């Protein structure tokens, strides 16, 4: 296919960018106290970008060797950590020093200790599981130029076969892996979602693509009188906690048919960004059809910053969903536009407390 050439406006970079492109300006900046600190902070930020992969790999090594886990039980000397991890002392010293630079561990009075940041890492649900499965994504990015040109077959796409509709009845192991990782990370997502959404006026919530019911469990705690329905693939909902009060399990696939009706609220938690635009538009249309007039839909997932790019969502999540080959990290404005096209009246968005965990867009069926 031949693409016709179009005229591209020739606009020079802005003043600050032109200054930043000048080696003479950088030399001058080092001699001027009022710009020196800013210039050095920018330099540090650039090096953090350059060294980001090594930092994440050092974190992965700390996790896989269970060094922070051991320090959560007791502070230990380097020799003992070397024995327990099977890493010789000189190489362990490099890894632990890296961990200290990341403020995950610290060395004091001859012993290595876990820091509050390291303790938070071990405690925050889903973080460790996320880090441990990152090697799949990192292998996909080994040749980033080929990756962004679409010349590779990402391994991550095979890690999540359910997004292709490829999870078969016999794939119980894959379903369990998917469900475990989702459940681990869903606690914080549920917490932040429910901070932004009030369901007090709803009678029955259906969570579509809800895994084994982790989000609904949080909803039940907050709204004990609310009836709940869990809708997901049969292999996935087989692992649902049937003890959840008021829970109805509805096995099915939104790819293959309509959604069950009779509920006045539907949640889509970390669902849309797993799928392409056509599938998302189809799902939103089915969601609209399943709700009564006044019915409410809640979309909760990491969202692009749009006109104000966000380093967590527009780097990490956007690249992750690109590697999955089916999804896309969308902005709140994009999601709102798609909800409007499906027939919803979109609510005024609220600022997310932690966009790297989740953002929320809600709407009502007019």
**Strand, coil or helix: what is 292?**
coil
- Site of tokens 């020799």: 79
Last residue of a domain, one of 60, 90, 121: 121
Question: Does 1 have pLDDT greater than 50?
Answer: no
pLDDT: is 333 or 44 the higher one?
Answer: 333
| Domain harbouring 308, CATH code | 3.40.50.150
Q: Which candidate, 268, 314, 298, 308, places its Cα nearest to that of 362? A: 298
Structural domain includes residue 46 = no
Structural domain includes residue 306 = yes
Say which range, 68-72, 157-161, 185-189, has the weakest mean pLDDT.
Answer: 157-161
pLDDT at site 187: 80
pLDDT at site 36: 73
pLDDT at site 172: 53
Structural domain includes residue 30 = no
Structural domain includes residue 295 = yes
User: In terms of domains, do 91 and 214 share one?
Assistant: no
Region 191-220 average pLDDT = 94
Structural domain includes residue 287 = yes
Say which range, 153-157, 176-180, 277-281, has the weakest mean pLDDT.
Answer: 176-180
Question: How buried is 115 (Cβ within 10 angstroms: 0-12 exposed, 13-18 middle, 19+ buried)?
Answer: middle
> Angle at Cα 266 formed by Cα 321 and Cα 249, nearest 5°?
95
9-21 pLDDT, tens digit each: 666 677 766 766 6
User: In terms of domains, do 178 and 319 share one?
Assistant: yes
Which domain covers residue 88, as residue numbers? 52-121
Last residue of a domain, one of 66, 96, 121: 121
* Total structural domains within the chain: 2
User: In terms of domains, do 154 and 210 share one?
Assistant: yes
User: In terms of domains, do 289 and 186 share one?
Assistant: yes
User: In terms of domains, do 237 and 328 share one?
Assistant: yes
Question: Does 153 have pLDDT greater than 80?
Answer: yes
User: In terms of domains, do 274 and 326 share one?
Assistant: yes
User: In terms of domains, do 116 and 150 share one?
Assistant: no
Structural domain includes residue 268 = yes
Residues 252 and 167: their CA atoms lie apart, in Å, by: 12
pLDDT at site 2: 45
User: In terms of domains, do 243 and 359 share one?
Assistant: yes
User: In terms of domains, do 319 and 174 share one?
Assistant: yes
| C-alpha distances in Å from residue 107, one per residue of 46, 93, 98, 114, 290 | 28, 11, 12, 9, 58
Structural domain includes residue 339 = yes
| Residues constituting the chain | 366
Last residue of a domain, one of 92, 121, 150: 121
Structural domain includes residue 263 = yes
Torsional sign, CA 61, 64, 69, 70: negative
Cβ atoms of residues 98 and 118 within 8 Å: no
User: In terms of domains, do 162 and 274 share one?
Assistant: yes
pLDDT at site 170: 43
User: In terms of domains, do 57 and 152 share one?
Assistant: no
User: In terms of domains, do 231 and 194 share one?
Assistant: yes
pLDDT: is 295 or 166 the higher one?
Answer: 295
What percent of the chain stands above pLDDT 90?
63
| C-alpha distances in Å from residue 279, one per residue of 2, 122, 286, 291 | 29, 36, 11, 19
- Site of tokens 């429910």: 194
| Domain harbouring 63, CATH code | 1.10.10.10
Side-chain half-sphere CA neighbours of 298 within 13 A? 30
């Amino acid at each position: 296919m031949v693409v016709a050439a179009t005229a591209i406006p020739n606009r020079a970079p802005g003043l600050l960018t032109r200054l930043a492109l000048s080696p003479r300006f950088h030399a001058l900046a080092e001699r001027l106290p009022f710009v020196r600190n800013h210039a050095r902070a920018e330099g540090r930020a650039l090096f953090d970008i350059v060294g980001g992969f090594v930092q994440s790999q050092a974190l992965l090594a700390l996790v896989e060797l269970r060094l922070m886990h051991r320090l959560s039980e007791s502070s230990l000397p380097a020799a003992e950590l070397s024995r327990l991890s099977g890493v010789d002392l000189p190489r362990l010293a490099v890894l632990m020093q890296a961990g200290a630079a990341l403020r995950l561990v610290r060395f004091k009075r001859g012993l290595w200790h876990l820091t509050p940041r390291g303790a938070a890492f071990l405690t925050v649900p889903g973080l460790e599981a996320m880090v441990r499965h990152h090697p799949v994504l990192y292998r996909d990015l080994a040749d980033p130029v080929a990756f962004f040109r679409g010349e590779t077959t990402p391994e991550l796409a095979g890690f999540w076969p359910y997004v292709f509709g490829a999870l078969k009845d016999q794939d119980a192991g894959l379903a369990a892996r998917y469900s475990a990782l989702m459940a681990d990370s869903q606690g914080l997502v549920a917490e932040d979602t429910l901070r932004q959404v009030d369901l007090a006026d709803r009678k029955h919530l259906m969570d579509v693509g809800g895994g084994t019911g982790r989000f609904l469990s949080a909803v039940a705690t907050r709204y004990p009188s609310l009836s709940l329905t869990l809708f997901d693939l049969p292999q996935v909902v087989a692992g649902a906690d049937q003890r959840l009060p008021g829970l109805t399990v509805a096995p099915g696939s939104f790819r293959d048919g309509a959604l069950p009706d009779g509920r006045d609220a539907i949640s889509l938690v970390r669902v849309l960004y797993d799928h392409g635009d056509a599938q998302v538009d189809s799902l939103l249309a089915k969601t609209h059809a399943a709700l009564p007039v006044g019915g409410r839909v809640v979309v909760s997932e990491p969202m692009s910053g749009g006109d104000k790019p966000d380093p967590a969502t527009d780097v990490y999540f956007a690249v992750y969903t690109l590697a999955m080959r089916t999804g896309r990290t969308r902005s709140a404005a994009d999601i709102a536009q798609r909800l409007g096209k499906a027939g919803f009246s979109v609510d005024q968005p609220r600022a997310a407390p932690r966009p790297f965990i989740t953002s929320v867009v809600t709407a009502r069926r007019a």
